[in-house]
Amino acid sequence: MPITFVDRERELSFMEKLWKGENSFLPIYGRRRVGKTRLVKEFIKDKSSVYYLARNSTYLDNLREFTGVVLEKFPSPYLTPESFSSFANVFRYLSERGKVVVVIDEFPYLIQSDKRILSEFQYIVDEVVRPSKLHLILVGSSVGMMEEHVLSQKSPLYGRRNGQIRLEPLDFLNSWKLLGVNVDEAVRIYGVTGGIPAYLILFNSFEDVKRLAFSKHGFLYAEGDFLLSSELRKPRVYKLILKAVAEGRTRFNEISTFTGIPRSNLFKYVEVLERLGFLRREKPITAPPKTKNTRYKIADNYIRFYFRFVERYREEVELENLDFWEGFLEEYNAYLGGIFEDVARQFLAKLNKAGRLPFHFTRIGRWWRKNEEIDLLTLNEREKRALFVEVKWKDLSERQARGILRELERKAELVGLEGWEKGYGIVARKVEDKGGLRENGFFAWDLSDFGALMP
C-alpha cells in the first residue's frame, strides 16, 4: 500500500501541545497543494471534531452549510441549519459540546463573502473559544490573504492566536519517501514537483511528466496559471518576472531589462513574490547584509519548471506534438544541476544535524564573485572552520572528481578566510572511488549515500 502521509512530525507535535491546553486558536496557511488539509485531517482523526470546507459563496450560504456539518456531528431534535443567524451562535452551541476541534478550511472564502466576518471571529475567539474547551483552526491557501487579514497587526484577529503554522513543502528525502522510487528517479521528479505532496502522488515515474505537464488535459499543464491567478491581482506582470528568472535573468537589472518594468516599480512586485514563497533572494554567504551583489531564484520547483519548460513548449503541446521530447530531456538534465544543488544543500543540513560532518556548521550558502562560483560553503564562524563543496549532477570518474576538488581548492583561496581550517568535498550523482578520495582527506558523497538519511 503506497505511503500517503509523511513527515509533519513537528507540526503535529505543536498541534498536540495546543490540544492538551484548555482551548486554542491556530491559523494554518501555505501555498495550494502543500498538504494543509491532509495535516489537519491527520490531527483530528482521533478527536472530537468538526471539519468544514468553506465555499466561494455568500455569508449566508456558508453559515447554512457550516451549521449543517455541525448538526450532523452534534444533532439536536429541536434545531435545523436555519435555527442559527450567525457563526457566533453556532460556536456557542459547539461550546456546550465539550472539548472539540473546529476546523474551517479555506477561510479566505469566508473573508471574501463578508469582510465583517473578521470582527465576528474576533468576538468568537474572545467570547466563545477562550471561556470554553474549543480549539479553533482556520486554514487558508491564499498566503497573502491569511497574512493580511488574519495574522497582520491591522487584523481584528491580531494577537489572539496561540501560534501559527506556515506549512512548507516536503524536503527531498521525505518527497523521495512519498514517491517510493529509486533515488535517481526521485531527483528527476523532484525537479518538476518540488516537495508538493499533491503533485508527488501523481507520479509513478518521471515519464509521467508527458501526460501531466505536456498534455492539454494534464493536471500540471495549467496549474501555474491557476496558482498565480488565485494569489495575485496582476498575474501577467508577475508571470513576466518569473519567466525572466526561469530563463536565467537572475540579477535585478536583468529582470528589469527583460520585463520592461522600471526598477522603481519592480521592487514591489519582487517583494510580493518573495513573501508568497515563489521567489528567493540570494547573496554570497560571506557578503555583508546590505550587499547589492544579489541574485534571484525561483524558490518553488514546480513554478521554476512551469516557466522554464511548460511555457516554452505550449504551442507544441496545444498541437499535441511531442517531437520536442528528446530535446527537452537534454535540456532538463542540465536544468537538474540547479535542482541537485538544492538537494545537496538539504543533504548536508541532514548530515550536520546528525553530527556526521567534521564540525557543526551554523551557516550554509553559495558564494560567488564576478565569474567565480562555489556551489556550497558551510561555515562555523566561532570555530573558524569551513567546508567548501562542489555539486555535480553527473557520474564522475576518480580523475574528474580530483580535478574538480583541485579547482575548488583554488577558488577557496579567493574567499579570503585566512587562518580558517578548510575542508573540501563533492556531491555528485555518482563518484568513482569515494573511499580513495576520503583517504586523501576529501569529502565525497553520491546518491548511494542518501539512503542512510532516509527518515
pLDDT of residue 149 exceeding 70, the answer is: yes
Query: How remote is the C-alpha of 211 from its chain's centroid?
Result: 24
168-222 residue pLDDT tens: 999 999 999 999 999 999 999 999 999 999 999 999 999 999 999 999 999 999 9
Q: From CA 51, how far away is CA 451, in angstroms rounded?
A: 37
- Residue 226: exposure state from Cβ atoms within 10 A (0-12, 13-18, ≥19): exposed
Q: Which residues pair with 28 in a beta bridge?
A: 139, 165
Nearest to 161 by CA among 189, 119, 129, 113: 129
- 172-323: in CATH 1.10.10.10: yes
CA–CA gap between residue 151 and residue 293 (Å, rounded)? 32
The whole-angstrom separation of Cα 4 and Cα 178 is: 7
Summarised one tens digit per residue, pLDDT across range 295-325 is 999 999 999 999 999 999 999 999 999 999 9
Task: Write the pLDDT tens digit of every residue in 68-98.
Answer: 999 999 999 999 989 999 999 999 999 999 9
Contacts with 220 (C-beta within 8 Å, 6 or more apart), sequence order: 192, 199, 202, 209, 212, 213, 302, 306, 310
Q: Which CATH architecture has domain 9-166?
A: 3-Layer(aba) Sandwich (3.40)
- Nearest to residue 335, comparing CAs of 450, 206, 451, 443? 206
156: pLDDT strictly greater than 70: yes
Residues of the chain with CATH 3.40.50.300: 9-166
What lies within 8 Å, CB to CB, of 360 at 6+ separation is 352, 380
Report whether pLDDT(2) > 70: no
Which is nearest to 261 in space by CA: 295, 293, 234? 234
Identify the pLDDT of residue 21. Answer: 97
What phi and psi, each to the nearest 5 degrees, are found at residue 358?
Answer: -65, -20
- What is the predicted pLDDT for the residue at 3? 59
Mean pLDDT, residues 154-165 taken together: 96
Three-class DSSP labels, the chain: CCCCCCCCHHHHHHHHHHHHCCCEEEEEECCCCCCHHHHHHHHHCCCCEEEEECCCCCHHHHHHHHHHHHHHHCCCCCCCHHHCCCHHHHHHHHHCCCCEEEEEECHHHHHHHCCCHHHHHHHHHHHHHCCCCEEEEEEECCHHHHHHHHHCCCCCCCCCCCCCEECCCCCHHHHHHHHCCCHHHHHHHHHHHCCCHHHHCCCCCHHHHHHHHCCCCCCCCCHHHHHHHHHCCCHHHHHHHHHHHHCCCCCHHHHHHHHCCCHHHHHHHHHHHHHCCCEEEECCCCCCCCCCCCEEEECCHHHHHHHHHHCCCHHHHHCCCCCCHHHHHHHHHHHHHHHHHHHHHHHHHHHHHCCCCCCCCCEEEEEEECCEEEEEEEEECCCCEEEEEEEEEEEECHHHHHHHHHHHHHHHHHHCCCCCEEEEEEEEEEECCHHHHHHCCCEEEEHHHHHHHCC
Residues counted in the chain: 455
Domain with CATH 1.10.10.10 in the chain: 172-323
Percent of the chain predicted with pLDDT > 70: 99
Residue 230, pLDDT score: 87
Q: What is the pLDDT of residue 455?
A: 79
Q: Is residue 36's pLDDT more than 70?
A: yes
Could you read off the pLDDT of 324-367 as tens digits, one per residue? 999 999 999 999 999 999 999 999 999 999 999 999 999 999 99
Segment 231-257, tens digit of pLDDT: 898 899 999 999 999 999 999 999 999
**What pLDDT does 391 receive?**
98
Q: Where does the chain hold its CATH 3.40.1350 domain(s)?
A: 343-453
Whether residue 425 has pLDDT greater than 80: yes
Domain 343-453 has CATH 3.30.70: no
Which residue is associated with the grid cell 498575474? Answer: 235
Measured CA to CA, the distance from residue 47 to residue 101 in angstroms comes to 7
Best CA proximity match to 276, nearest among 139, 137, 147: 147
